[in-house]
Amino acid sequence: MSAPLLALLIALAAPKPETPVALEGAGQMKRFFAALRALEAEPDAGRVRVLHLGDSHIAADMLTGKMRSGLQTRFGDGGRGFVIPGKPWPSFWQAQVVTGSEGRWRTDGLPGGLDDGQVGPGGCTVASGDPEAVVSVGTAARADVSRTFSVLDVYYLRQPAGTCFDVRVDGATVGVVPTRGPWIEPAFARFDLPPGPHRVEIRPGGGAETRVLGVSMENASGVVYDALGINGAHAERLLRADPQGMAAILERMNPNLIVFSYGTNEAFDRHFDPEKYRLALDRVVSRLRAMAPRADCLLTGPGDFLMGRRTPPGLDSLVQLQRDAARVHGCAFWDQRAAMGGPGSIRRWRRAGLAQGDFVHLTRAGYERVGEKLFVALVDAYEGRQR
């Protein structure tokens, strides 16, 4: 084989370089960036919170875990934030924490549980009336960030048949929380703790169900980055949540930025209707923007993936509709597919060990690479750079 031909074959086989992709409409994130600047100038300026909503790519908390690490390392560690305790589904895993479950628990908001819209920001809740049951969540000793917290918020449902539940921290009871109320509504219990690593346990009192929305582990200042994803979720799933309850929760959480990362499951719909999708996305973003009017927003497009051996026919249209929705609603937009290398890039990512064999989901290394790319795009926009 001649040297020129060999060089050509090597060039064709080499991975295509991935061009950095900037945030589009980054000027729409001025309030979020101002909050980061205040935190960077004064480390005790308070919390800056990001709510990242999405499907299985976000539920994996690998992409979001990388974002959390980057932001907390630069701007301060506000604590791990909101986590559903226990194991709401068998493969449930979150970065920088350790969760556990004992006894009988039901997961509402997913198949097999109640579907009454009382799901909280995590998209589902855990419920039990078993006095021997326990769900737990605690800081991970080897985590790179979020190793400590000093404020614990427990989110739960108050209801007519409510009972009490115990909250234990590091084995000691810090409170007994009553849940009886005239109607079903979200409620909150706050506990101030000595700064440090902690393990939280929630134990139902028995006799009636305790429904736990989640716990938030926070520090007085720094960045909090919540990963709120559900496997198989469409953006429209957010419309199933009780609007009054969700509004109360978002007021409590007070996010500075809401990130929407959906589209993979919608693109798998063989009967994808662009106009129907446009209207649904408009309702979702409108509702969340109205519930959190002080928050900026960012839409991220889905990555590249295949349906069988081919690109889903509606994927290009879906990405453009998300870009249009971001512009209409005053949000920023980030094109993850372009950041991966554009159409067909999933095959290269698979060959490089960055994508799984379904050519849809990524490996841990792949999700972390996407997280790095999004972090760079966000910091570039924050610093006024365009690559």
Residue 123 has pLDDT above 60, yes or no: yes
The pLDDT of residue 181: 95
Whole-angstrom CA distances from 142 to 58, 84, 171, 224 are 22, 20, 21, 19
CB-CB contact of 118 with 184 (8 Å)? yes
- Kindly report, residue by residue over 317-351, the tens digit of the pLDDT: 999 999 999 999 999 999 999 999 999 999 999 99
The whole-number average pLDDT for the span 144-168 is: 96
The pLDDT of residue 116: 94
The whole-number average pLDDT for the span 88-102 is: 96
The whole-number average pLDDT for the span 42-62 is: 97
- Kindly report, residue by residue over 212-233, the tens digit of the pLDDT: 999 999 999 999 999 999 999 9
CB-CB contact of 360 with 53 (8 Å)? no
Residue 69 has pLDDT above 70, yes or no: yes
The Cα 334–Cα 303 span in angstroms is 10
Lowest mean pLDDT among 16-25, 46-55, 180-189: 16-25
The dihedral through the CA atoms of 338, 342, 348, 354 has a sign that is positive
Same fold, 20-78+220-387 and 96-219: no
The whole-number average pLDDT for the span 93-109 is: 96
Residue 256, exposed/middle/buried by CB under 10 A (0-12, 13-18, 19+)? buried
What are the residue boundaries of the structural domains of the chain, listed by start? Answer: 20-78+220-387, 96-219
Closest CA to 171 of 201, 148, 151: 201
CB-CB contact of 333 with 299 (8 Å)? yes
Residue 379 has pLDDT above 80, yes or no: yes
- Kindly report, residue by residue over 291-302, the tens digit of the pLDDT: 999 999 999 999
Lowest mean pLDDT among 86-95, 134-143, 292-301, 377-386: 377-386
The pLDDT of residue 18: 63
- Kindly report, residue by residue over 240-249, the tens digit of the pLDDT: 999 999 999 9
Phi-psi sector, 15: left (phi>0), alpha (psi -120 to 50), beta: beta
Q: Specify the DSSP element, H or E, that contains 203.
A: strand 199-204
Closest CA to 29 of 335, 294, 375: 294
- Kindly report, residue by residue over 111-122, the tens digit of the pLDDT: 999 999 999 899
pLDDT averaged over every residue in the chain: 94
* Architecture of the domain spanning 20-78+220-387: 3-Layer(aba) Sandwich (3.40)
The answer as to CATH 3.90.870.10 being correct for domain 96-219 is: no
The pLDDT of residue 306: 97
The whole-number average pLDDT for the span 166-188 is: 97
Compute how many other C-beta atoms are within 10 angstroms of the C-beta atom of residue 359. 17
- Kindly report, residue by residue over 6-24, the tens digit of the pLDDT: 444 434 344 455 678 999 9
The Cα 348–Cα 180 span in angstroms is 55
The pLDDT of residue 2: 56
Q: Where are the beta strands (DSSP E) in the chain?
A: 47-54, 81-83, 97-102, 106-108, 125-128, 134-139, 149-158, 164-169, 172-178, 185-196, 199-204, 210-218, 222-229, 257-261, 296-300, 332-334
Lowest mean pLDDT among 6-15, 62-71, 378-387: 6-15
Name the band, by pLDDT with cuts 50, 70 and 90, for residue 270: confident
